[in-house]
Chains A and B, each alone.
Chain A
Amino acid sequence: MTSEANPQVYSDATKAKGTPIIECVGVDKFFGDFQALYDINLNVGSQEVVVVIGPSGSGKSTLIRCVNRLEKHDRGTITVDGIELTDDIRNIQEIRRETGMVFQQFNLFPHLTVIDNITLAPRQVRHEPKDEAEAEAMRLLERVGIPEQARKYPGQLSGGQQQRVAIARSLAMKPKVMLFDEPTSALDPEMIKEVLDVMVELAKGGMTMIVVTHEMGFARAVADRVVFMSDGSIVEVGTPEHFFTNPQEDRTKLFLSQIL
Chain B
Amino acid sequence: MTASAPPVIRRSPTEWVKENLFGNWWSGLVTVVMFPVLVFAAYRTALFVFVNGQWEAVTRNLTLFMQGTFPREEQWRLVVQILLFALAFGIGAGTNAASTRDTAEDAGLSYSRGSFGETLRRMWSLVLFIAILLYFATIDPAGSIWAPFALVAVSGAVAYVGFQARLFPRSLRNLGWLLTAILLLFGFQIVSGFDAGGWIPLALLLAVATWSVIPGERFPSRLIGIAVKVIAVVVVAFVVRLVYAAVDTTGIGWDQWSGLHLTLMTSAIAIVLSFPLGLLLALARRSTLPALRWMSTAYIEFIRGVPLITLLFMGQYVLAFLFPADVELSRITRAIVAMALFTAAYVAEIVRGGLQSLPKGQTEAGQALGLAPPTIMRRIILPQALRAVIPAMVGQFISLFKDSSLLTIIGILEFLGVREIVHAQADFRGVAIAETLVFVAFGYWAFAFAMSRESQRLERRLRVSR
Contacts and interface: CB of A to CB of B under 8 A. Distances in A.
Interface string B353-386: 0000001011011011111100100011001100
A129 B215 contact: yes
A153 B465 contact: yes
A169 B380 CA distance: 14
B384 A111 contact: yes
B369 A113 contact: no
Contacts, number: 94
B107 interface: yes
Contact of A109 (B108, B109, B365, B372): B365
A97 B387 CA distance: 29
A121 B371 contact: yes
Given A127-B217, A128-B217, A96 B368 contact: yes
Contact of A111 (B106, B359, B369, B387): B387
Contact of A120 (B359, B361, B367, B379): B379
B383 A170 contact: no
Contacts of B109: 156
Nearest to B463: A155
A100 B370 CA distance: 9
Contacts of B371: 120-121, 124-125
Contacts of B215: 129
B222 interface: yes
Contacts of B106: 113, 151-152
A100 B367 CA distance: 10
B365 A103 contact: yes
A68 interface: yes
B384 A125 contact: no
B11 interface: no
A79 interface: no
A103 B361 contact: yes
A3 B384 CA distance: 44
A72 to B, nearest CB: 12
Sorting the interface of chain A by its residue count into under 10, 10 to 19, 20 to 34 or 35 or more gives 35 or more
B361 to A, nearest CB: 4
28 contacts: A68-B367, A68-B368, A70-B364, A96-B369, A96-B370, A103-B361, A103-B365, A109-B362, A109-B365, A110-B384, A111-B466, A113-B465, A120-B369, A120-B371, A121-B370, A125-B375, A127-B222, A129-B215, A129-B218, A151-B106, A152-B106, A152-B107, A153-B107, A153-B466, A155-B466, A156-B109, A169-B369, A170-B368
A136 B329 CA distance: 56
Contacts of A124: 371-372, 375, 379
B107 A97 contact: no
Interface string A114-129: 0000001101110111
A168 B130 CA distance: 54
B464 interface: yes
Given A105-B361, A128-B217, 8 more contacts: A70-B368, A100-B368, A107-B364, A112-B465, A152-B107, A153-B466, A170-B368, A173-B370
A101 interface: yes
Interface string B156-195: 0000000000000000000000000000000000000000
A113 B107 contact: yes
A111 B465 contact: yes
B61 to A, nearest CB: 49
Query: 3 nearest interchain CB pairs?
Result: A97-B370, A107-B365, A107-B361
A152 B368 contact: no
Contacts of A69: 367
Interface string A37-71: 00000000000000000000000000000001110
A24 interface: no
A93 interface: yes
